[in-house]
Amino acid sequence: AQSVTQLGSHVSVSEGALVLLRCNYSSSVPPYLFWYVQYPNQGLQLLLKYTTGATLVKGINGFEAEFKKSETSFHLTKPSAHMSDAAEYFCAVSGGKTSYDKVIFGPGTSLSVIP
Amino acid sequence: EAGVTQFPSHSVIEKGQTVTLRCDPISGHDNLYWYRRVMGKEIKFLLHFVKESKQDESGMPNNRFLAERTGGTYSTLKVQPAELEDSGVYFCASSRRTGTTNNEQFFGPGTRLTVL
């Protein structure tokens, strides 16, 4: 069975500071890994994904994540937080056996950006 | 291309009533998924259609929930009768036909269901 944990249900950072959202997963097969973001009153938007290849993945809005197999981690970072980054972030995994497997989500981390 | 659309955006009903949620996937997407997030919990998978067939319905909570995708286009999710614990946000997602290597799921905005 696959699962996802996210350390910290709420994270606050100052504007311009580093954003680090932690994600660890468990999977018995090589996983596909995702970060989704949900802005207030909007749907889920894909930030970035890892399937195969390069372990450092760049996404939209300046975010990136690194797949570390030895640590079963896929932490999300952004060098400098912007007020518009305030949202809820979900780490997710899918089976990887087939590219259309269901997605298993973590509990989410709510990011606040302090001016 | 238009994204995944869901209707209604909000629904408030009383316990015991029936509600039907609708999802229109991106045109040409054979795969359609339903997920939900109840208050304070994770987003959970409900079921997966490939065209009009149910590929995986392991996440459906009980027989009060009925999903259909007649003709392999839009899908409906009916809750009958609704209970308080059904309150939450119901997401729909779609992806291209199977066998492709880049099969990203595109999510709709969700339907917020409140059962009073």
| Radius of gyration from C-alpha coordinates of chain B | 14
Pairing mode of beta strands B10-13, B111-115: parallel
User: Where residue B105 falls among pLDDT bands split at 50, 70, 90?
Assistant: confident
Q: Which two tokens stand for residue B1?
A: 């291309």
Judged by CB atoms closer than 8 Å, whether chains meet at A100 and B103 is answered as yes
Angle A39-A41-A47 from CA coordinates, rounded to 5°: 25
Strands (E), A1-115: 3-7, 10-14, 19-26, 32-38, 44-50, 56-58, 64-68, 73-78, 87-94, 103-105, 109-114
- A36–chain B Cβ distance below 8 A for any pair: yes
Which residue do the tokens 């109840």 mark?
A: B38
The chain A residue lying nearest B91, using CA atoms, is A43
Cα atoms in the Cβ-side hemisphere of radius 13 Å centred on A53: 7
pLDDT in tens, A38-81: 998 788 899 999 988 889 999 999 999 999 999 999 999 999 99
pLDDT in tens, A8-30: 999 999 999 999 999 999 887 77
The chain B residue lying nearest A51, using CA atoms, is B102
pLDDT of residue B99: 57
Q: Which two tokens stand for residue A64?
A: 């990136």
pLDDT of residue A42: 82
The amino acid that residue A86 corresponds to is: A
The torsion angles phi and psi of A84, rounded to 5 degrees, stand at: -70, -5
